[in-house]
């Protein structure tokens, strides 16, 4: 009935009629409707099912030079919800790879010598993200690293319509009411992690309420 976003992963309340959810208060148009506490696990399942049906959603993952404020993306993968690969590439940064990061993803500076920079991929990424929602496992991190890489390579920020966090949804799926974030265990390469994230969404979507 209404195009409200279904899931806000904080504790809150949900409208029984249009299923919008708000942490503090509903929109005025829902004030006359009955409200109930959010069932976080059911909300995660419904979110996963809806995500799999959407054609305006992609899954993204990155590998990076590190975790800090000057870290940059060195591998980027994007897949569609049907699993088709839209992008899978190494990327040449402007800062060195931190040893700790290299030990995790096994990407070396030598492997990046012939890789494109973000500047070379900018046009395609803008088209890919245009009017789409990006799902990522720990989306705040990937979103921040994309912004940092754009800034470091002096290009305008590449934006999507919205970002949604698969990790938050999965955490509420396996531990309703909250809990520690669950590791993805996808192998620490961007494409493998995208595919592992898709499997998490499929697992949630296949579950019973």
The DSSP code sequence of the chain is ---------SS-EEETTT--EESS---GGGTTS-EEE--HHHHHHHHHHHHHH-SSEEEEEEEES-SSTT--EEEEEEEETTS-EEEEEE---SSPPPHHHHHHH---GGGGTTPPPHHHHHHHHHHHHTT-EEEETTHHHHHHHHHHHHHHTT-PPP--SEEEEHHHHHHHHHSTT--PPPP--S-SSHHHHHHHHHHHHHHHHHS--
Instruction: Kindly state which CATH superfamily the domain 56-206 is placed in.
Output: Ribonuclease H-like superfamily/Ribonuclease H (3.30.420.10)
Question: What are the structural domain ranges in the chain?
Answer: 13-51, 56-206
At residue 182, the pLDDT reads 79
At residue 34, the pLDDT reads 55
Nearest CA to 159 out of 126, 136, 135 is that of: 126
Residues of the chain with confidence (pLDDT) below 50: 1-11, 22-29
Nearest CA to 38 out of 46, 49, 28, 50 is that of: 46
At residue 154, the pLDDT reads 98
Report pLDDT digits (tens) over 50-92: 999 999 999 999 999 999 999 999 999 999 999 999 999 999 9
Say how far apart CA 5 and CA 162 lie, in whole Å: 11
At residue 185, the pLDDT reads 83
What is the pTM for the complete model shown? 0.83
């Amino acid at each position: 009935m209404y195009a409200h976003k279904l899931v806000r992963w904080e504790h809150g309340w949900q409208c029984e009629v249009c299923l919008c959810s708000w942490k503090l208060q509903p929109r005025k148009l829902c004030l006359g409707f009955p409200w109930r506490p959010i069932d976080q696990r059911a909300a995660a399942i419904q979110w996963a099912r809806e995500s799999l049906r959407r054609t305006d959603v992609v899954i993204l993952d990155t590998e990076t030079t590190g975790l800090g404020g000057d870290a940059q993306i060195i591998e980027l993968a994007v897949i569609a919800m049907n699993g088709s690969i839209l992008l899978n590439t190494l990327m040449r940064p402007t800062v060195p790879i931190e040893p700790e990061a290299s030990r995790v993803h096994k990407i070396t500076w030598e492997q990046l010598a012939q890789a494109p920079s973000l500047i070379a991929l900018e046009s395609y990424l803008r088209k890919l993200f245009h009017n789409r929602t990006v799902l990522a496992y720990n989306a705040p991190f990937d979103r921040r690293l994309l912004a940092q890489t754009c800034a470091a390579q002096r290009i305008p920020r590449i934006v999507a319509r919205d970002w949604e966090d698969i990790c938050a949804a999965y955490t509420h799926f396996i531990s309703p009411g909250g809990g520690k974030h669950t590791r993805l265990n996808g192998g620490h390469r961007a494409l493998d992690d995208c595919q592992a994230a898709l499997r998490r969404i499929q697992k949630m979507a296949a579950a019973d309420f």
